Amino acid sequence: MIVLGIETTCDETAAALVERRDDGRGRILSNIVLSQIEDHAAFGGVVPEIAARAHVEALDVIVGKAVGDAGKSFDDIDGVAAAAGPGLIGGVIVGLTTAKAIALVNDKPLIAVNHLEAHALTARLTDATQFPYLLFLASGGHTQIVAVRGIGDYVRLGTTLDDAIGEAFDKTAKLLGLGYPGGPQVEREAARGDVTRFTLPRPMFGRPDADFSLSGLKTALRLEAEKIAPLSEKDVRDLCAAFQQAICDVIMDRLRAGLKIFRERFGTPSALVAAGGVAANQTIRKILHKLAFEAGTALVVPPPALCTDNGAMIAWAGAERLAHGLVDPLDTAPRARWPLDSVSRPGAKG
Ligand code: KG4
Ligand code: ZN
């Protein structure tokens, strides 16, 4: 089956066509992503109003290109999927309404996809990863450790009590006068910094749960920076190195706790899967390798273009749900909040 996927929950306007074969394997036929980074850069973060307007302006063209690049027409499509949340509500409304219109006009089923579910299932598109697996999702808006047990069957084992990891990178970059998005900039500076010069806290370290808290780390970094202001280039590099090291140590510790909980409740995971923009960080990838090795499981990290927000992941999640008969009515509401463990699953209501 072939599914069109639309993603508009944050600052990427994206659409894709993905094919799911009867044996469960997937293939991307087209994947078009228009990033709005430049529209938001001057503000140091995503401005919801600007994002929603940009989605309206771009989406029709992006969908047309996705269908055209795949060499298909709407007739060839078996379903229309859109991210119906969680995310910035203005953008979600644009994507979901467009999907409803395409579904209605072409008489195709609508699949309202949870954006986090799409991140969670991407490893099955790229690597045919088998259930159950442990997902580490780290992006600008989310930091979660999730047991992925089946389609629509997710158990959140850990989350952040305050900032998301990507958000912490972005705030650190802003504080140190680096550009937006902050992750890649902090990573670049950290690579040339002295990791031993500053000592920053490792919040939640050693706790048996798998939750994160990053606001204390952010404050500690700000206090260190204020002590030595004005900052030289070396100061910035060293602060970035200390910050990234603290984040890595925290991820290691929190994921160890998550893996332990997973084993106790669900047995051995088939893989440790990383997703979200933060997984593009090379130092973080190294520690994920180490962790997977230590846990005797495989590490699956989809390529960067499929780790960050994209249409293919929405199309794929739509295809996986459609294959199980999960479709949604045309009056499905967009949702700013939508916890992953509340999505519907085959054979169950909810
Ligand atoms: O998944 P994503 O593209 O969008 C959502 O937030 O949904 O993730 C973007 C986040 C930003 O906060 C960005 O700073 C972070 O991922 N990021 C990184 C790196 N590349 C992107 N964080 C750390 N290191 C990186 N290399
Ligand atoms: Zn995302």
Query: Smallest Cα–Cα separation from 156: which of 249, 252, 265, 246?
Result: 265
| Amino acid letter, 190 | A
CA distance linking residue 275 with residue 279, whole number of Å: 6
Tell me the CA–centroid distance for residue 165 and ligand 1, in Å.
8
Pairing of strands 79-85, 110-114: parallel
In terms of residues, how long is the chain? 350
pLDDT for residue 350: 44
CA distance linking residue 342 with residue 350, whole number of Å: 7
CB distance 133 to 123 below 8 Å: yes
Task: Output the residue whose Cα is nearest ligand 1's atom 16.
Answer: 277
CA distance linking residue 55 with residue 92, whole number of Å: 9
pLDDT for residue 38: 80
Q: pLDDT of 177-214, one tens digit each?
A: 998 889 999 999 999 999 999 999 999 999 999 999 99
CA distance linking residue 24 with residue 320, whole number of Å: 8
CB distance 79 to 323 below 8 Å: no
Task: Output the residue whose Cα is nearest ligand 1's atom 23.
Answer: 183
Tokens encoding 207: 């706790």
Task: Output the residue whose Cα is nearest ligand 1's atom 14.
Answer: 183
CA distance linking residue 218 with residue 308, whole number of Å: 23
**What's the number of CA atoms in the CB half-sphere (13 Å) around residue 255?**
30
Query: Smallest Cα–Cα separation from 198: which of 170, 231, 169?
Result: 231
Tell me the CA–centroid distance for residue 168 and ligand 1, in Å.
10
Give how far Cα 333 sits from Cα of 94, 97, 142, 345, Å: 12, 10, 22, 18
Residues in the chain with pLDDT < 50? 350
H/E segment holding residue 110: strand 110-114
Q: Which ligand is the nearest neighbour of the Cα of 284?
A: 1
Q: Beta-carbon neighbour count of residue 111 at 10 Å?
A: 27
Binding site membership of 87 for ligand 1 (Cβ less than 6 Å): no
Q: pLDDT of 45-67, one tens digit each?
A: 788 888 889 898 999 999 999 99
Burial (CB count within 10 angstroms: exposed 0-12, middle 13-18, buried 19+), residue 216: middle
pLDDT for residue 192: 98
pLDDT for residue 279: 92
Q: Beta-carbon neighbour count of residue 82 at 10 Å?
A: 34
pLDDT for residue 11: 84
Tokens encoding 144: 């979660």
Per-chain mean pLDDT for the chain: 95
Beta carbons within 8 Å of 133's beta carbon, 6+ residues apart: 123, 147, 148, 269, 270, 271, 272, 273, 300
Binding site membership of 166 for ligand 1 (Cβ less than 6 Å): yes
CA distance linking residue 135 with residue 271, whole number of Å: 8
CB distance 141 to 87 below 8 Å: yes
